[in-house]
Amino acid sequence: MIKLPKEFYEQILAHAKKELPNEACGLIAGVIEDGNKIIKKVYLLTNVDHSNEHFSLDPKEHLAAIKDMRANQIAPLGNWHSHPESPSRPSEEDKRLAYDPKASYMILSLEKETPVLNSFHIENNEVTKEELIIE
Ligand SMILES: [Zn+2]
């Protein structure tokens, strides 16, 4: 299970809408308690691809975020990105680029009027949806 406080969900959503028509992206960090991931901070990064079909995290911002996590004693838990025109599930490229089986990969779809956010584990090209609680 992964828990995303509503204020962070709002931050992700606002950033994703601002970046339209391109994909938006960022990182999630927090703590693991009894096997559950609790997100304590989200990072809104620049998609250096400036594309509506894929994303790459800005390497400098990525490094700054990792330093900030260390300073705040929280752990990297994964990343998030938006799908402006497709459903909330990993694309073939997303699967190919998912190198960390411990990470949570969150995908926010803005395809429909109501945004959809899901969180996934990806291991050896196999996708498993994980329970996501936004509150
Ligand atoms: Zn994607």
A 10 A CB-CB count for 38 gives 17
| CA of 83 relative to ligand 1 center, distance in Å | 6
DSSP SS3 for 34: coil
Peptide bond into 21 cis (omega under 30): yes
Domain 2-134 has CATH 3.40.50.300: no
pTM of the model: 0.96
| CA of 81 relative to ligand 1 center, distance in Å | 7
What is the token pair recorded at 56?
A: 């790459």
> Where do the domains of the chain lie?
2-134
| CA of 91 relative to ligand 1 center, distance in Å | 5
Closest CA to 41 of 75, 14, 89: 75
| CA of 94 relative to ligand 1 center, distance in Å | 5
User: What's the confidence (pLDDT) of residue 122?
Assistant: 97
User: What's the confidence (pLDDT) of residue 56?
Assistant: 96
Q: Which parts of the chain have pLDDT scores under 70?
A: none
User: What's the confidence (pLDDT) of residue 107?
Assistant: 98
